[in-house]
Amino acid sequence: MAQSAKCGAVIRRFCRRCRGDGAHTRTYCRGKRARAAGRGEERRVARRGGRLQQHVVFDRLGVRGRPGHHGERTGDRKALQPGLPGGVHVPAQCRQRRLGTWRRRDTYHSLLTGRVHLSKRQEEFYGRELIIAEREMVEQEADEILRDAADNDVAFLVVGDPFGATTHSDLVLRAVKAGIQYRVVHNASILNAVGCCGLQLYNFGEIVSIVFWTETWKPESFYDKIKRNRQSGVHTLCLLDIKVKEQTLENLMRGKKIFEPPRFLSVNEAAEQLLEIIENRRGKGEELALTEDTLCVGLARVGSKDQKIAAATLQQMVKEDLGAPLHSLIITGHMHPMEIQMLKLFAADKSCFNKLISLDGSTYYS
């Protein structure tokens, strides 16, 4: 039954039974899987192949703006700087230690993505070498990562929920195409961790991204989305821009890989930009969706021990000091009295609640 003629080194290593000594059957060889994939049957094979258990595991690191649970576990909270699509590949063995449901393997591959700095302690925690994979690597070398998954289980630890970014969907699609099973372990992300400010998660509308304005580029499209949400009475979570690995035009033209220091949009800058848009729209005689007195919530480093939350009007938000990144901003919609009570915990200046308007006894807006 040996299929050594059909199997090269990669295929032999792939075989669990023979571990490369050639005494393996077609069932276990990559040839069949590859052919099946060619016939578009990759998913069926993946499902059927109880013994073809190669996985890409999306595991969790933490939420946007927090040091990450793994970092926390190792006692090194500053080790991980989340906020970008990214992750750490660790072997199944590590998962087994943590969740007790994965088989132990001899071999492993590890990889780490995003703007993540590794410490020795983290590698010790995983018992594995960790590899930082920048966004570029995940996007451009996805196939290489998956090639490793042919031999070993690959754990791809990400910051926030894995599906906050299309990059990871792309990785899943490639894995499925190659007949590689995948499994996802979900994680908290800023999308639900914002609930800590007291605004109910069910009352949020579409998420909005506020970008850095430049001298010549001042898009206002996010304002229109906020307007739509406000008209529906729901809150808007605004994710604020992150600029990493930026190149000056000069360096880009010369092909020099010199990057500018990372920049993170603060709630102050975001509030300033919004105020400028309000001023523009007022000038055009447009009916305003939000004003200087609209109640907002600024959040910084959500989930970390030094997280900071501030409730204030949009005008006050320009001056709020929330400290280091990452920041997020919420523009409130209609509020329940309990939401207001919670926000009051986070307001330095309670005057921001003075201009709330009561729609009925149990609904307020600003």
Interface residues with its own copies (CB under 8 A) are 43, 60, 63, 69, 72-75, 98-101, 161-164, 166, 169-170, 172-173, 176, 184-189, 191-193, 195-196, 198, 200-207, 209, 228, 232, 234, 302-303, 336, 338-339, 341-342, 345
Closest distance to its own copies from the beta carbon of 124 (Å): 13
330 burial class (0-12, 13-18, 19+ CB within 10 angstroms)?
Answer: buried
Residue number with CB closer to its own copies (12 or 308)? 308
Residue number with CB closer to its own copies (13 or 77)? 77
Closest distance to its own copies from the beta carbon of 200 (Å): 6
- Find out whether 12 and 24 touch, Cβ atoms under 8 Å: yes
Residue number with CB closer to its own copies (19 or 183)? 183
Closest distance to its own copies from the beta carbon of 366 (Å): 19
> Per DSSP, what are the bridge partners of residue 357?
365
Residue number with CB closer to its own copies (3 or 54)? 54
Residue of 53, 52, 70, 48 whose CA lies nearest to 61: 70
Closest distance to its own copies from the beta carbon of 340 (Å): 11
Neighbouring C-beta atoms of residue 343, cutoff 10 Å: 24
Q: Strand pairing of 55-62 and 181-184?
A: parallel
Closest distance to its own copies from the beta carbon of 247 (Å): 26
What are the angstrom distances between the C-alpha of 207 and each of 136, 212, 277, 306? Answer: 25, 17, 18, 24
Closest distance to its own copies from the beta carbon of 66 (Å): 8
Residue number with CB closer to its own copies (11 or 194)? 194
The CA distance from 2 to 9, in Å, is 14
Closest distance to its own copies from the beta carbon of 25 (Å): 27
Q: What are phi and psi of 167, to 5 degrees?
A: -50, -40
Residue number with CB closer to its own copies (100 or 261)? 100
Encode 257-289 in three state secondary structure. Answer: CCCCCCEECCHHHHHHHHHHHHHHHHHCCCCCC
User: What is the chain's percent helix, strand, coil content, to nearest 5?
Assistant: 40, 20, 45
Q: What are phi and psi of 357, to 5 degrees?
A: -110, 135
Closest distance to its own copies from the beta carbon of 7 (Å): 28
Closest distance to its own copies from the beta carbon of 314 (Å): 22
Residue number with CB closer to its own copies (15 or 290)? 290
The CA distance from 157 to 112, in Å, is 7
Closest distance to its own copies from the beta carbon of 18 (Å): 28
- Find out whether 17 and 28 touch, Cβ atoms under 8 Å: yes
Indicate the helix (H) or strand (E) that contains 231: helix 221-232
Structure token digits, residue 293: 């007195």
The CA distance from 145 to 230, in Å, is 43
Residue number with CB closer to its own copies (189 or 266)? 189
The CA distance from 241 to 213, in Å, is 10
Residue number with CB closer to its own copies (190 or 318)? 190
Residue number with CB closer to its own copies (112 or 191)? 191
Structure token digits, residue 330: 């919420």
Residue of 111, 113, 112, 116 whose CA lies nearest to 81: 116
